[in-house]
Amino acid sequence: MAGTIICYGDSNTYGYDPCTLMGDQYPEQNRWTGILESETKWKIENHGICGRCIPHTGSQIRFACEQLKDWQDKDAPVWMWIMLGTNDLLQEQQFTAKDTAQRMETFLKKLMAEPAVSSGKITLYLIAPARMEYGAWVDEERQYQESRQLGEEYKKVAERLGIGFTDAGKWDIPVVYDGVHFSEKGHHIFAQNIQEEITWLK
């Protein structure tokens, strides 16, 4: 193994399949995390949780910081990929891309102050989520338009903090009827694009 990548995200990291009765995961071979596990030398750990927003309350941030202590001892090097923000735009009334980016920057600064990150044991990497499309979950122009601004706002955050960044919003990821969740094809396209952009993966 080359090392460990902690994929810290929401339902599109989890691999949620909204077309099943119980909302199960897509098969591992059709989730972008599973595809990377099979196609690279990295150990890919899926830490996606459905409905997760960017941690912003005291308890949410403390829990994430506690998790760092467990992750720092995994097969080195250890990366923490963070792809969140979609649920913030969906759940927070009138939230903008700038609001979401400010919340993300606050969270990242808290993580960077933790010994696991400040010592270099864990390296943070920010991924702007794929754009939302109009669908069953996306019926406001604000949600549609702000999701298209998120990549640029996150890029500014990554530059200010000096961390790596990828904008998945540029990849035209196919989503299902709800306008939010990746289709199986979308997971494969995501995995392909991230391997092309993050060249050290292989």
CATH T-level topology, domain 4-201? Rossmann fold (3.40.50)
Residue 144 has pLDDT above 70, yes or no: yes
What is the rounded CA–CA span in Å between residue 11 and residue 33?
12
- Domain range summary for the chain, segments of one domain joined by +: 4-201
The model's pLDDT over 41-71, given as tens digits with 9 standing for 90+, comes to 999 999 999 999 999 999 999 999 999 999 9
The predicted model gives 88-107 an average pLDDT of: 97
pLDDT band at 202 (very low <50, low <70, confident <90, very high): confident
Residue 32: closest CA among 50, 14, 8: 14
What is the rounded CA–CA span in Å between residue 78 and residue 37?
15
What is the rounded CA–CA span in Å between residue 18 and residue 176?
8
pLDDT band at 1 (very low <50, low <70, confident <90, very high): low
Q: Give 196's contacts (C-beta < 8 A, 6+ positions apart).
A: none
The model's pLDDT over 101-141, given as tens digits with 9 standing for 90+, comes to 999 999 999 999 999 999 999 999 999 999 999 999 999 99
Estimate the share of the chain in helix, then strand, then coil, as percent rounded to the nearest 5.
50, 15, 35
Q: How far apart are the first and last CA of the chain?
A: 11
Average pLDDT over the chain reads: 96
pLDDT of res. 153? 98
What's the pTM? Answer: 0.97
